């Protein structure tokens, strides 16, 4: 998606050879009109896959996932990073450990919202080490749903996320694939 690549080049800040800051239009400040185009683009790729729900991990993925769900006319499921006090019956949980930070958290999903009849598209802002997406995948399968694919705005292809998902036969679609952030430079694939 050329508009996304253009904004990454114009507004992105390379923090290190692994971290790209896109706070001005994706993570901290969000441009709603641009984000709607992102959702339409991801939805377009998966429109014939029989998707019944879109899922994302709180909270940076919510904006692109919400517009993807809207474009597909299906509900959005927000996978929670902590088990809420009022979210406890019929609850699936899985531990996710970030490759980068080594920190762990519990991801949770109520079995009321994903069942064996659901074919779920996972949408997130970044695809990096893939642990969050793989955790989401595990959780959807625990709830007996099937996974239609993973849509990401930015795939940092020098990290193993997309490859790990494709090894499992998952259709991964990213709008911008960055192959390197070395020496402060953003290089697309």
Pattern 102-121, binding to a copy of itself, x per CB under 8 A?
Answer: --------x-xx--------
Q: Does 63 bind a copy of itself (CB under 8 A)?
A: yes
CA distance 156 to 153: 10
For a copy of itself, the binding residue among 44, 58, 95, 189 (CB under 8 A) is: 58
Total number of residues shown for the chain: 189
3-state secondary structure of 139: helix
- Please confirm whether the linkage preceding 59 is cis (ω < 30° from 0): yes
- Minimum CB–partner distance for residue 22 and a copy of itself (Å): 10
Stretch that binds a copy of itself, among 74-82, 125-133, 155-163, 176-184 (CB under 8 A): 74-82
Pattern 86-105, binding to a copy of itself, x per CB under 8 A?
Answer: xx------------------
Q: Which of residues 9-38 bind a copy of itself (CB under 8 A)?
A: 15, 19, 21, 23-24, 27-33, 35-36
Q: Does 50 bind a copy of itself (CB under 8 A)?
A: no
Compare residues 16 and 168 and give the one whose CB is closer to a copy of itself.
16
- Minimum CB–partner distance for residue 189 and a copy of itself (Å): 23
CA distance 163 to 179: 13
CA distance 4 to 153: 8
Residues 6+ apart with CB under 8 A from 179: 157, 158, 187, 188, 189
- Residue 156 CB neighbours (<10 A): 23
CA distance 1 to 102: 31
- The footprint of a copy of itself (CB under 8 A) covers 15, 19, 21, 23-24, 27-33, 35-36, 58-59, 62-63, 66-67, 69-70, 73, 75-78, 80, 84-87, 110, 112-113
């Amino acid at each position: 998606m050329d508009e996304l690549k253009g904004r990454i080049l114009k507004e992105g800040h390379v923090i290190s050879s692994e971290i790209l800051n896109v706070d001005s239009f994706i993570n901290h400040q969000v441009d709603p009109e641009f984000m709607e185009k992102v959702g339409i683009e991801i939805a377009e790729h998966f429109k014939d896959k029989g998707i019944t729900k879109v899922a994302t991990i709180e909270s940076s993925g919510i904006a692109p996932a919400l517009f993807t769900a809207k474009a597909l006319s299906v509900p959005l499921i927000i996978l929670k990073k902590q088990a809420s006090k009022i979210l406890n019956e019929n609850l699936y949980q899985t531990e996710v450990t970030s490759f980068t930070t080594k920190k762990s958290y519990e991801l949770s999903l109520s079995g009321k919202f994903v069942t064996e009849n659901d074919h779920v598209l996972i949408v997130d802002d970044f695809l990096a080490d893939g642990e969050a997406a793989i955790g989401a995948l595990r959780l959807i399968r625990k709830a007996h749903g099937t996974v239609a694919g993973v849509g990401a705005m930015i795939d940092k292809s020098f990290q193993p996320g997309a490859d790990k998902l494709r090894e499992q036969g998952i259709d991964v679609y990213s709008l911008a694939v960055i192959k390197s952030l070395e020496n402060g430079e953003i290089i697309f694939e």
